[in-house]
């Protein structure tokens, strides 16, 4: 393992870690470069346990002892003090360790639906933290797979990965052009498709899964598109009280995952 201290924030070896808070830059750059950023010891360990390829790691010296035995022998590890980390990344790295991993090859959504008994479809979510939280719930509650639409926030984006606590590494997922395509693939695989929609007269708690099922969740604010709602086999709502119009999509997803995997 090559462990090297870095003293210059302009060191070219640190280029993948530069300006991590610039979301537009990172969203444009990381998919093209085929990388994602893992932050924190637990998330880095989970990425390694999932068999993902490590390009390099950047951390404060005090974090090396805890991670050293988990890192591959050919790892490139750069050690830096907190202020240098902040200067490179653009923020205070509270968990003290970052790593660049190679993005794995995209999965085939049709094959994913063919192998799943329970699945979620996320249509055009914009908040990476919500996407990460949904993956964490999906992993915790035993959902088999997730589909995300092309316009959905990237599950490989740093904040998604961080919020999921590495669940994006263990829940199989794939991208589809839009929700209608995802529903068609699920239906071809023999799945019932269910849209979670607050305007539905039928409550989520009254539904019981009788076979493989895909549940659709819509974007923050507008919810599911009319096309997504209309193409699903049925719609369900989480009843609201006390003037609350809806739950945050990540909270709604947790309830959906529980019902989906309990019936």
- The partner residues of 237 in beta bridges, in order of sequence, read 203
Domain spans, the chain: 2-102, 109-262
- Indicate the burial class of 34 (C-beta count within 10 angstroms; 0-12, 13-18, 19 or more): middle
Q: Of 120, 222, 128, which is closest to residue 179 (Cα–Cα)? A: 120
Q: Using one digit for the tens of pLDDT, what is the confidence trace for 244-263?
A: 988 999 999 999 999 999 97
- Domain 109-262, CATH among 1.10.10.10, 3.40.640.10, 3.20.20.80, 3.40.1280.10: 3.40.1280.10
Greatest Cα-to-Cα distance within the chain, rounded to the nearest angstrom? 62
Please report which confidence band the pLDDT of residue 25 belongs to, taking 50, 70 and 90 as the band edges: confident
Q: Are 89 and 20 in contact (CB under 8 A)?
A: yes
d(CA 160, CA 165): 9
User: Which stretch of 21-25, 34-38, 78-82, 86-90 has the lowest confidence by average pLDDT?
Assistant: 21-25
Task: Read off the pLDDT of residues 216-232 as tens digits, 9 standing for 90 and up.
Answer: 999 998 999 999 999 99
Predicted TM-score of the model (pTM): 0.94
Which among 27, 3, 244 is positioned nearest to 155, based on CA atoms? Answer: 27
Structural class in CATH, domain 2-102: alpha beta
How far, in Å, are 20, 55, 155, 165, 258 from residue 100 at the CA level? 12, 5, 15, 16, 33
């Amino acid at each position: 393992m090559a462990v090297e201290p870095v003293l210059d924030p302009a060191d070219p070896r640190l280029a993948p870690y530069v300006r991590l808070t610039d979301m537009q830059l990172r969203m444009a750059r990381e998919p093209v470069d085929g990388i994602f950023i893992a932050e924190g010891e637990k998330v880095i360990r989970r990425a390694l346990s999932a068999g993902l390829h490590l390009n390099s790691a950047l951390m404060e010296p005090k974090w090396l002892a805890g991670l050293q035995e988990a890192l591959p022998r050919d790892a490139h590890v750069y050690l830096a003090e907190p202020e240098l980390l902040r200067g490179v990344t653009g923020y205070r790295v509270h968990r003290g360790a970052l790593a660049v991993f190679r993005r794995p090859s995209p999965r085939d959504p049709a094959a994913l639906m063919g192998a799943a008994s329970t699945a979620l479809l996320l249509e055009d979510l914009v908040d990476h933290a919500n996407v990460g939280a949904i993956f964490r719930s999906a992993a915790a509650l035993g959902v088999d797979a997730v589909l995300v639409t092309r316009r959905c926030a990237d599950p490989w984006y740093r904040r998604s990965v961080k919020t999921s606590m590495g669940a994006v590494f263990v829940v199989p997922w794939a991208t589809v052009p839009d929700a209608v395509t995802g529903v068609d693939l699920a239906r071809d695989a023999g799945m019932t498709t269910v849209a979670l929609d607050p305007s539905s007269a039928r409550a989520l708690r009254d539904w019981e899964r009788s076979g493989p099922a895909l549940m659709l969740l819509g974007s923050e604010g507008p919810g599911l598109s009319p096309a997504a709602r209309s193409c699903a086999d049925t719609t369900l709502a989480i009843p609201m009280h006390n003037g609350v119009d809806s739950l945050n999509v990540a909270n709604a997803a947790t309830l959906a995952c529980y019902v989906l995997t309990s019936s």
